[in-house]
Amino acid sequence: GENVEQHPSTLSVQEGDSAVIKCTYSDSASNYFPWYKQELGKRPQLIIDIRSNVGEKKDQRIAVTLNKTAKHFSLHITETQPEDSAVYFCAASKGSTNYKLSFGAGTTVTVRA
Residue 96: CB minimum distance to other proteins, A: 7
Residues 15, 26, 29, 105: which binds other proteins (CB under 8 A)? 105
Cβ density class 72-110: b for 16+ within 10 Å, e for less? bbbbbbeebeeebbbbbbbbbbbeeeeeebbbbebbebe
- The answer to whether residue 9 forms part of the interface with other proteins (CB under 8 A) is no
Question: Which residues ranging from 27 to 56 are in contact with other proteins (CB under 8 A)?
Answer: 32, 34, 42-46, 49, 51
Phi, psi of 96 (to 5 degrees): -70, -10
Stretch that binds other proteins, among 18-26, 55-63, 68-76, 87-95 (CB under 8 A): 87-95
Residue from 58, 61, 100, 112 touching other proteins (CB under 8 A): that is 100
Triad 80, 32, 91: Cα angle to 5° = 55
Instruction: Please give the residue ranges that form the binding site for other proteins (CB under 8 A).
Output: 1, 32, 34, 42-46, 49, 51, 89, 93, 95-96, 99-106
